[in-house]
Amino acid sequence: MADYTFVGCDAHNKTLLLKVAMDREASVQRSFANTRPGRKALARWLLGVAGEAGCSTIYFAYEASGLGFTLHDELTAAGVTSWVLAPTKIARSPQHRRRKCDAKDAERLLDIVRAHVLAGSELPAVWVPGHEVRDAREVVRGRLAVAKRLTAAKTEVRSLLTRRGVERPKRLGKGWSKAFRAWLSGLVEGHGPLLWGARVLLASLMAQVEFLEGELHYFDEQVMVLAHQERHAAAVEAMTSVKGVGELTALAVLTELGDVRRFSRRGQVAAYAGLVPRTDESGEAADHKGHITKQGPSRLRGVLSQAAHSWVRWDPAAKAAYERLVARNPKHKKIALVAMMRRLLIRLWHRGVDALRASPCPGSAAEPDGAAGVRR
């Protein structure tokens, strides 16, 4: 008779390599295809093995990745206790990094789960968001990704002109105005020093810019639809009352944090966003604070950076706070900006929590439809 079945899984796009052990026994290795039938076979096999050992409790763990939470959902539905672990919080020795393989990774996850259950050690598990949060994230992350690709395409245009020694006329200013676009079109048509190959590339880049601008407009519409859904409307309204904060920033905070009420204090919120300093303390040496950890979603820090600039520009109190921070260390203004990012995030978190408490979140958000909904 066994009390527990422990499983560590090294998950990849095509395969799921398992290390399975009963209680404190040695592990055995199995592999399954990472497909729907393969995952069903995995669950059936685990339940069968545990049943033969007289064990009713199965603990399963794998690392968070771009695979999402499908495996977690299916295992949970099958009655398996599943945890998704944060790779950045799993300690690995230099020797492990030099001799890394799938079997060793799975064994490491098995050891972590077993130590947590049997000895009470800390489990570096991530919070698994619900389906509605995941779905809302797709819209917000899609909008941010399109903006990033648009910026990259415009940068490539400038790089092409620089490589070919073509200078932008000063009369056109600095932005992507109609006059600047007309000038670029003239270069494509041969009204300038660009040879045929450069004109071909410039035409392609301009088409990409035009397409991505259309996609950006489409996603902006969907962001507004999301912002006005009942489950988000109160929190978004509260957050956008902060000067310099728009619907996209508010939704990025809401979707990346997930349920804002799961954080009990401001330090947890800042740590989740990677906006707390690293610490280095050993023996008699004083505790040394370094750069921020940068753990957690980088896209959230990117949104907060832009929002903090706007906040400082439009809010007199925020501007005064920023100037006081800059005065302490005039040569490192970036430190002051990071501090303002953290302050802004905490303020938005407080407003989101207060709004949700005053207006409890409904159980389900209606799917948008019509002209502002999904493309037909």
**Shared domain check, 248 and 179:** no
pLDDT for 280: 60
Running DSSP on this structure, what letter comes out for residue 241?
A: T
Q: Are residues 328 and 217 in the same domain?
A: no
Task: Report angle CA 367, 217, 168 to the nearest 5 degrees.
Answer: 165
Give residue 281's pLDDT: 61
Domain presence at residue 87:
yes
Identify whether residues 206 and 268 lie together within a single domain.
no
Residue 368 belongs to some domain of the structure: no
Query: Are 242 and 342 within one domain?
Result: yes
Report the candidate in 71, 107, 160 with the shortest Cα–Cα distance to residue 168.
160
Q: What is the structure's pLDDT at 285?
A: 55
Question: Where are any strands of DSSP class E within 42-160?
Answer: 57-63, 81-85
Query: Is 306 part of a structural domain of the chain?
Result: yes
- Segment 248-297, tens digit of pLDDT: 999 999 999 999 999 999 999 999 999 998 876 655 555 556 788 888 89
Residue 270 neighbours by CB distance under 10 Å: 22
One domain for residues 270 and 176: no
In a domain, 365, yes or no: no
- The CA distance from 243 to 311, in Å, is 6
Cβ-based neighbour number of residue 106 at 10 Å? 27
Ranges of the chain whose pLDDT falls below 70 = 96-98, 280-289, 360-376
Q: What confidence score (pLDDT) does residue 122 get? A: 94
Question: What is the pLDDT at residue 365?
Answer: 45
Which pLDDT value is given to residue 370? 42
Q: Which of 119, 141, 167 is the last residue of a domain?
A: 119
Kindly write down the DSSP assignment for every residue of 5-27, as one continuous string: EEEEEEE-SSEEEEEEEETTSPP
| pLDDT value of position 369 | 45
Compute the distance between CA of residue 10 and CA of residue 244 in angstroms, rounded to an integer.
Answer: 43
Q: Are residues 19 and 107 in the same domain?
A: yes
- Both 87 and 163 in one domain: the answer is no
pLDDT single digits (tens) 60-85: 999 999 999 999 999 999 999 999 99
Do residue 152 and residue 221 come from a single domain?
Answer: yes
Range of the domain at 253: 233-358
> How far is 43 from 18, CA to CA, in rounded Å?
12
Using an 8 Å Cβ cutoff, are 35 and 18 in contact?
Answer: no
CATH of the domain at 34: 3.30.420.40
> What's residue 364's pLDDT?
44
Residue at 181 is within a domain: yes
Answer with the one of 69, 96, 119 that is the final residue of a domain. Answer: 119
Is residue 298 domain-resident?
yes
Structural domain count of the chain: 3
Lay out the sheet containing 57-63: strands in order across. 28-33, 15-22, 4-11, 57-63, 81-85
Sequence length of the chain is 376
**300 in the same domain as 207:** no
Query: Does 193 share its domain with 91?
Result: no
Q: For residue 373, what pLDDT is reported?
A: 57
Q: What is the per-residue pLDDT for 2?
A: 83
Residues 140 and 254 in one domain: no
Q: Which residues of 26-53 are buried (b: 16+ CB within 10 A; e: fewer)?
A: ebeebebebeeeebeebbeebbebbeeb
**Residue 88, pLDDT score:** 86
Residue 363, in any domain of the structure: no
Q: Decide if 168 is inside a domain.
A: yes
Same domain, 59 and 110: yes
